[in-house]
């Protein structure tokens, strides 16, 4: 043993073994120290996590809910952003969001307070309201004409029927002559053919070159929007206020803004009535004190309409008797005063169809004072004398533009000769 320990290679082996042991022990100590520092860093990160969880993708731990993963294309939205229940992070393969200009919607006109029936097709919808007139034209007249060859007595009956229906002597004579001519020329034998001839003759009698459109839409004057101004005139109780309200509804339903002028200061209730109509569709009313100058109220209404840049100003005037000359003058004054601000685009004369020939007399007087541009024939639902339409138009040379077919808010229809005659004949 002494000999081995004295050998130099022995001490070399001892030194190498000791060096290896020292290296191994110090390596182990350093490795342990590193592991502890990594763990403590992870602990610090956990503490920084928000309270609700919220794992970071960089955290290296992916938590997935049980069940199937949500593929991107399953989401309701397509921009790759997370939906409720998705992973908080956007999947790498989802399409990139781009910058998008968002156009804010324009402010829309105030929605009508009530639902309003569309104006188109109202004549068809309301044709049943002409049932009284239909019994006269459809049954009476067609019954006679469809019976084949007519003798003189039968032609006399045709004439009488037209007169009773308020077509007046001149128009009745004209229509009977045309019917006689057409029926024999076309050798009409069946009731269907007779109906077709009657339809044609009546419709062409109602035709006019003049436009039936109500001029109630705004226009531009000197580069500025100008509201249309509509005057509604007529004798007491014909239905002026009601017609003004109904027309306001039609305009609002078509997206127009409307000011109603209560220039009927004669009857206090008329302004209240108009206010109720306006409130129902969200329109504005301009009214004066009871007994105020109607021209001043009409002026204020038009001024308000211009200032607020509305589309239409409808002015309800007082129901005045044509025998009172002063009151008729007043109507002329209303128009003149309003025209200091804006042109009056439409003067609607409201006539009550049930008053027959009296309505015609009123129409004549009104048209002498004021330039009537359109007729509104109301209460056609309550009369068998629908023939007044023919006469009024012929007498005045002014087109019937609207017809009132009931007391309901949407019972005002545009006048269309073909549809009207169709409803009359049933």
Ligand X SMILES: Nc1nc2c(ncn2[C@@H]2O[C@H](COP(=O)(O)OP(=O)(O)OP(=O)(O)O)[C@@H](O)[C@H]2O)c(=O)[nH]1
Phi and psi angles of residue 220, each rounded to the nearest 5 degrees, phi first? -110, 130
d(CA 153, CA 144): 10
Binding region for ligand X (CB under 6 A) out of 97-105, 182-190, 333-341, 378-386: 378-386
**What does each C-alpha distance from 212 to 63, 202, 256, 395, 403 come to in angstroms?**
74, 17, 19, 16, 12
Binding region for ligand X (CB under 6 A) out of 10-18, 106-114, 263-271, 288-296: 263-271
Rule CB under 6 A: is residue 319 a binding residue for ligand X? Answer: yes
Rule CB under 6 A: is residue 288 a binding residue for ligand X? Answer: no
Residue the block writes with tokens 């860093």: 41
Rule CB under 6 A: is residue 261 a binding residue for ligand X? Answer: no
Figure out which of the listed residues 123, 228, 252, 270 binds ligand X, where binding follows CB under 6 A.
270
Q: Of 137, 214, 132, nearest to 414 (Cα)? A: 214
Figure out which of the listed residues 125, 267, 280, 304 binds ligand X, where binding follows CB under 6 A.
267
Rule CB under 6 A: is residue 406 a binding residue for ligand X? Answer: yes
Rule CB under 6 A: is residue 409 a binding residue for ligand X? Answer: no
381 is in an annotated binding site: yes
d(CA 158, CA 116): 41
Binding region for ligand X (CB under 6 A) out of 130-138, 298-306, 340-348, 405-413: 405-413
Tokens of 365: 């007087």
> Closest CB to ligand X belongs to which residue?
319
Tell me how far, at minimum, the Cβ of 227 lies from ligand X, in Å: 22
Q: What are the DSSP calls for 257-291, one per residue?
A: -EEEEEE--SSHHHHHHHHHHHHHHT-EEEE--TT
Q: Is 318 exposed, middle or buried (0-12, 13-18, 19+ CB in 10 A)?
A: buried
- Whether residue 292 contacts residue 265, with contact meaning beta carbons closer than 8 Å, is answered with yes
Binding region for ligand X (CB under 6 A) out of 43-51, 66-74, 141-149, 379-387: 379-387
Tokens of 255: 């997206």
Figure out which of the listed residues 300, 381, 410, 416 binds ligand X, where binding follows CB under 6 A.
381
Figure out which of the listed residues 205, 242, 256, 373 binds ligand X, where binding follows CB under 6 A.
242
Question: Please, which residue, 179 or 263, has the CB nearer to ligand X?
Answer: 263
Rule CB under 6 A: is residue 239 a binding residue for ligand X? Answer: yes
CA 225 to chain centre: 21
325 is in an annotated binding site: no
Q: Which residues are annotated as a binding site for GTP?
A: 234-241, 316-320, 378-381
Q: Which residues bind ligand X (CB under 6 A)?
A: 234, 236-242, 264, 267, 270, 319, 378-379, 381-382, 404-407, 411
């Amino acid at each position: 043993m002494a000999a081995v320990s004295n050998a130099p290679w022995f001490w070399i082996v001892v030194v190498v073994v000791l060096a290896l042991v020292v290296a191994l022990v110090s390596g182990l100590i350093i490795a342990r120290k590193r592991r502890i520092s990594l763990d403590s860093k992870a602990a610090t990160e956990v503490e920084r996590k928000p309270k609700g969880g919220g794992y970071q993708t960089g955290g290296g731990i992916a938590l997935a809910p049980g069940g199937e993963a949500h593929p991107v294309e399953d989401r309701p939205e397509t921009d790759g952003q997370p939906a409720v229940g998705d992973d908080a992070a956007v999947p790498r393969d989802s399409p990139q969001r781009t910058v998008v200009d968002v156009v804010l919607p324009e402010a829309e006109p105030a929605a009508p307070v009530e639902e309003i029936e569309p104006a188109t097709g109202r004549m068809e919808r309301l044709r049943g309201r002409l049932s009284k007139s239909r019994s006269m034209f459809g049954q009476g007249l067609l019954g006679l004409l469809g019976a084949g060859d007519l003798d003189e007595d039968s032609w006399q009956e045709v004439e009488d029927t037209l007169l009773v229906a308020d077509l007046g002597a001149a128009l009745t004579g004209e229509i009977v002559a045309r019917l006689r001519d057409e029926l024999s020329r076309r050798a009409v034998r069946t009731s269907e053919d007779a109906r077709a001839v009657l339809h044609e003759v009546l419709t062409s009698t109602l035709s006019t070159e003049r436009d039936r459109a109500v001029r109630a839409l705004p226009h531009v004057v000197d580069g500025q929007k100008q509201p249309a101004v509509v005057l509604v005139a007529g004798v007491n109780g014909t239905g002026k206020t009601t017609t003004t309200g109904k027309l306001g509804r039609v305009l609002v339903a078509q997206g127009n803004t409307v000011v109603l002028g209560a220039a009927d200061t004669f009857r206090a209730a008329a302004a209240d009535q108009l206010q109720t109509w306006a409130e129902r569709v969200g329109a504005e009313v301009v009214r004066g004190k009871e007994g105020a100058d109607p021209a001043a109220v009409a002026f204020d209404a038009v001024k308000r309409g211009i200032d607020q840049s509305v589309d239409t100003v409808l002015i309800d005037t007082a129901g005045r008797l044509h025998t009172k000359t002063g009151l008729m003058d007043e109507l002329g004054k209303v128009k003149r005063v309003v025209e200091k601000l804006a042109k009056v685009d439409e003067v609607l004369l409201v006539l009550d169809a049930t008053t027959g020939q009296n309505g015609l007399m009123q129409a004549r007087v009104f048209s002498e004072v004021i330039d009537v541009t359109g007729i509104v024939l109301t209460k056609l639902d309550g009369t068998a004398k629908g023939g007044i339409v023919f006469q009024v138009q012929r007498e005045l040379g002014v087109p019937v533009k609207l017809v009132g077919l009931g007391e309901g808010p949407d019972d005002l229809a545009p006048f269309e000769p073909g549809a009207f005659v169709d409803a009359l004949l049933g």
